[in-house]
Amino acid sequence: GAVVSQHPSWVICKSGTSVKIECRSLDFQATTMFWYRQFPKQSLMLMATSNEGSKATYEQGVEKDKFLINHASLTLSTLTVTSAHPEDSSFYICSARVGAGGSSRGQYFGPGTRLTVT
């Protein structure tokens, strides 16, 4: 159980275009999903917390107009990188939390999406 999928696995796009990444919880409902980015040989950096039916909460320094997050259902959250630039190239990983609040039973990660902006 607790399987999270991401699509696509990798994407190469040209500078200035927008890219959408989907994150799905396949066998459970996730009220809360998280979006991380990871640069080579570095730790995971939280970008935003996505709550179903409400606006995402962004971490300090993350541009909400550039990284659009939509959590339209209990099994789907999307991250859209708008007007992508080469410095946005990174490994983007989503996770979904099993349980809520005090009953949290862990977060499960999707397989990640490698974005390369040329």
Partner 1 sequence: QQPVQSPQAVILREGEDAVINCSSSKALYSVHWYRQKHGEAPVFLMILLKGGEQKGHDKISASFNEKKQQSSLYLTASQLSYSGTYFCGTEILGSQGNLIFGKGTKLSVKP
Nearest approach in angstroms of CB 68 to partner 1 is 19
**Strands, DSSP E only, in the chain?**
4-7, 10-13, 19-25, 32-38, 45-51, 57-58, 67-73, 76-81, 90-97, 107-109, 113-117
Nearest approach in angstroms of CB 104 to partner 1 is 6
Nearer to partner 1, 61 or 102 (CB): 102
Nearest approach in angstroms of CB 73 to partner 1 is 19
Nearer to partner 1, 57 or 80 (CB): 57
The β-bridge partners of 50 are: 33
Q: Which two tokens stand for residue 79?
A: 């991250």
The β-bridge partners of 51 are: 32
Nearest approach in angstroms of CB 16 to partner 1 is 27
Helix, strand or coil, per DSSP, at residue 85: coil
Residues lying near partner 1 in the complex (CB under 8 A) are found at 2, 32, 34, 42-46, 49, 57, 93, 95, 97, 100-102, 104-112
Nearer to partner 1, 97 or 117 (CB): 97
